[in-house]
């Protein structure tokens, strides 16, 4: 589950209320009844194995780059804390798969590949315009949507500086739109917690 930094203290209290007092070994909490919770810091937060430091650092405002892509849609933005500072959303038509066989199927596949390449090139151009000027100020680049679409965009040599900032966290988002980009900020800032119930 994802927990907003501002709600982390309350979540820890509730975890103790449900499972009993807990002890921390680094960022792994073990409760009295055997339940565990493993916390992962948000992208861009300093790496730490100390729970109190995580609580302190997680809520601090950080500048994050966002790159969301699916098929022919891309959304790029820069966020400071919970606020979206700048963004651009773009869509391209990319033909879906066809049931036709033989020569027609190959022709449609080539057309689809060309459309996807054009969409990726435009996505890379948007990322370069919005994110590269901010690269020195970004704590991390958070990506999401479809792995192939995102990887294709980031494969452009001009975006090498962004790849170095890419967070391991990959957001599961629908087709990128402005509202999806705003929701992605919430996911990108969250402390991720893996809870395992006893037994």
Residue 8 tokens read as 């982390």
Q: In this predicted structure, what is the pLDDT of residue 95?
A: 47
Q: In this predicted structure, what is the pLDDT of residue 94?
A: 47
Q: In this predicted structure, what is the pLDDT of residue 93?
A: 47
Locate CATH 3.30.420.60 in the chain. 63-187
State pTM to two decimals.
0.86
CATH superfamily assigned to domain 63-187: eRF1 domain 2 (3.30.420.60)
Is residue 170 within 8 A of residue 196, CB to CB? The reply is no
Euclidean distance between CA atoms 109 and 21, whole angstroms: 58
10 Å CB burial of residue 82 (0-12, 13-18, 19+) is middle
Rounded to the nearest 10°, the torsion over CA 142, 147, 148, 149 is: -50
Helix, strand and coil percent figures for the chain, each rounded to 5: 40, 30, 30
Those residues whose C-beta lies under 8 Å from the C-beta of residue 67, and which sit 6 or more positions away, are: 74, 75, 76, 123, 127, 131, 141, 142, 143, 144, 150, 153, 154, 162
pLDDT tens for the chain, 199 residues: list them: 999 999 999 999 999 999 999 999 999 999 999 999 999 999 999 999 999 999 999 989 999 999 999 987 999 999 999 999 999 999 864 445 544 555 556 655 555 555 557 667 889 999 999 999 999 999 999 999 999 999 999 999 999 999 999 999 999 999 999 999 999 999 999 999 999 998 7
């Amino acid at each position: 589950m994802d927990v907003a930094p501002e709600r982390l203290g309350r979540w820890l209290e509730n975890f103790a209320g449900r499972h009993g007092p807990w002890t921390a070994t680094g960022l792994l909490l073990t409760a009295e009844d055997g339940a565990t919770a493993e916390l992962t810091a948000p992208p861009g937060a300093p790496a730490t194995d100390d729970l109190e430091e995580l609580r302190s650092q997680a809520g601090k405002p950080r500048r994050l780059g966002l790159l969301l892509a699916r098929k022919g849609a891309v959304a790029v933005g820069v966020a400071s804390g919970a606020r979206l500072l700048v963004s651009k959303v773009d869509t391209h038509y990319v033909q879906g798969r066809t049931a036709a066989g033989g020569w027609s199927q190959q022709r449609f596949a080539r057309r689809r590949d060309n459309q996807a390449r054009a969409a990726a090139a435009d996505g890379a151009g948007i990322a370069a315009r919005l994110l590269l000027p901010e690269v020195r100020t970004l704590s991390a680049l958070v990506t999401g949507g479809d792995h192939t679409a995102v990887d294709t965009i980031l494969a452009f040599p001009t975006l090498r500086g962004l790849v170095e900032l890419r967070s391991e966290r990959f957001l599961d988002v629908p087709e990128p739109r402005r509202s999806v980009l705003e929701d992605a900020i919430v996911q990108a800032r969250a402390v991720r917690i893996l809870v395992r119930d006893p037994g």
